[in-house]
């Protein structure tokens, strides 16, 4: 009797053990199968993405845009008040996700432009062309001026790239179209609209920082400034345009205020009834350049004639 009982218990235990082993084996099989299937799916989707020449969408785009938006609205300019960063991100995403990246229109961005726009104080707008670094070093050190990249829209999008693709997941992280591949790509359309809005918002005295060390000329009609911004300044709001032509310290002085391209710019602006002034190497900006070239003659506090009477 006790022997029989023992044998029954052993049989029960064996059955239980076999059951557990079978269950575990089934589980492992399911996990392996699932991973193979999703890998297969990914393998199928990736080659369907269109291939372009420019870098793809910035990794973690959502976190980058949201982080910059909150940083701008909460920390830098709390006076802007009720900007909804989540809504702003959603409207940026909806402008391009799952869309053909060569067929983006201004309508796609209209909701984003409306959500993110804010007033710009008079006399503060600073336009720039080919002086990216210097212009932004200047607005960082002098809170009296704002470039497009110092507005919420420009701040969020600065040096970030994005584009969509008709196939899942609707965002192309591998490549995006260059302007030479198609004009109506997500970045170009965005910057055109943002620049137009920035110019339209300007009032009072506006300034423009140009690069006098560019051989092709400081003012180029094909630039964003030359093709979009100058034509969207409102003569009823903007009284004067101050041009600053900056030369690299110790670099070539290809053009100054009396140069050909500056004359072209001046005549375009005068035709639109703006008052113009032009200054070579505007001193407050040149002093910033001198931080990196303190010993250069252009950076001396006194002129040579005063130093050597």
The residues carrying an active-site annotation are: 122, 203
Helix 85-96 to helix 106-116 angle, to the nearest 10 degrees?
170
Long-range pairs of 182-185 with CB within 8 A, sequence gap ≥ 24: 182/101, 182/102, 184/102, 184/103, 184/104, 184/105, 185/101, 185/102, 185/104
Least distance between ligand NAG and beta carbon 255 (Å): 11
H or E, element range at 265: helix 260-271
Residue 266 is encoded by which pair of tokens? 């001046």
Least distance between ligand NAG and beta carbon 247 (Å): 7
H or E, element range at 276: strand 275-280
Least distance between ligand NAG and beta carbon 305 (Å): 26
Least distance between ligand NAG and beta carbon 60 (Å): 27
Residue 25 is encoded by which pair of tokens? 């084996």
The CA-to-CA distance between both ends of the chain, in Å, stands at 127
Least distance between ligand NAG and beta carbon 260 (Å): 17
The alpha carbons of the chain give a radius of gyration, in whole angstroms, of 30
Least distance between ligand NAG and beta carbon 96 (Å): 11
Closer to ligand NAG by Cβ: residue 116 or 134: 134
Closer to ligand NAG by Cβ: residue 72 or 138: 138
* Integer Cα distance of 202 and 260 in angstroms: 26
DSSP characters over 162-214: --B-SSTTSB-SSEE--TTT-TT-HHHHHHHHHHHHHHHH--EEEEEEEETT-
Closer to ligand NAG by Cβ: residue 64 or 200: 200
217 Cα distance to chain centroid:
26
Least distance between ligand NAG and beta carbon 295 (Å): 18
Pairing state of beta strands 175-176 and 54-55?
antiparallel
* Integer Cα distance of 135 and 153 in angstroms: 17
Residue 69 is encoded by which pair of tokens? 């938006």
Closer to ligand NAG by Cβ: residue 174 or 248: 248
List interacting residues with ligand NAG (CB under 6 A). Answer: 100, 103, 122-123, 130-131, 134, 204-205, 211, 213-214, 246, 248
295 Cα distance to chain centroid:
35
Closer to ligand NAG by Cβ: residue 154 or 217: 217
Q: Show Cβ contacts of residue 305 under 8 Å, excluding neighbours closer than 6 positions.
A: none
Closer to ligand NAG by Cβ: residue 39 or 48: 48
Closer to ligand NAG by Cβ: residue 64 or 118: 118
């Amino acid at each position: 009797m006790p022997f029989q009982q023992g044998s029954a218990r052993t049989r029960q235990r064996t059955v239980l053990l076999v059951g557990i082993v079978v269950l575990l084996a089934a589980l492992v099989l399911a996990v392996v199968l699932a991973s193979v299937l999703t890998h297969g799916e990914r393998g199928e989707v990736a080659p369907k993405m269109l291939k372009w020449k420019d870098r793809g969408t910035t990794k973690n785009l959502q976190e980058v845009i949201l982080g910059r938006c909150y940083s701008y609205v909460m920390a830098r300019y709390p006076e802007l008040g009720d900007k909804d960063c989540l809504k702003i991100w959603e409207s940026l995403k909806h402008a391009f996700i799952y869309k053909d990246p060569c067929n983006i229109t201004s309508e796609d961005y209209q909701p984003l432009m409306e959500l993110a726009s804010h007033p710009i104080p008079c006399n503060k707008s600073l336009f720039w062309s080919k002086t990216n670094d210097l212009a932004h070093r200047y607005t960082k050190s002098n809170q009296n001026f704002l470039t497009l990249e110092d507005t919420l829209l420009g701040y969020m999008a600065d040096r970030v790239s994005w584009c969509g693709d008709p196939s899942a997941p609707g965002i192309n992280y591998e490549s995006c179209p260059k302007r030479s591949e198609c004009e109506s790509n997500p970045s170009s359309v965005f910057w055109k609209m943002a620049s137009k809005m920035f110019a339209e918002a300007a009032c009072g005295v506006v300034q423009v920082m140009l690069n006098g060390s560019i051989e092709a000329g400081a003012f180029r009609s094909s630039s964003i400034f030359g093709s979009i911004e100058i034509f969207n300044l409102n003569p009823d709001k903007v009284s004067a345009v101050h041009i600053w032509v900056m030369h690299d310290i110790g670099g070539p002085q290809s053009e100054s205020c009396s140069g050909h391209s500056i004359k072209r710019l001046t005549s375009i602006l005068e035709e639109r009834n703006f008052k113009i002034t032009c200054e070579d190497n505007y001193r407050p900006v040149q002093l910033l350049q001198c931080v990196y070239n303190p010993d250069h003659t252009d950076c001396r506090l006194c002129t040579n004639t005063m130093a050597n009477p």
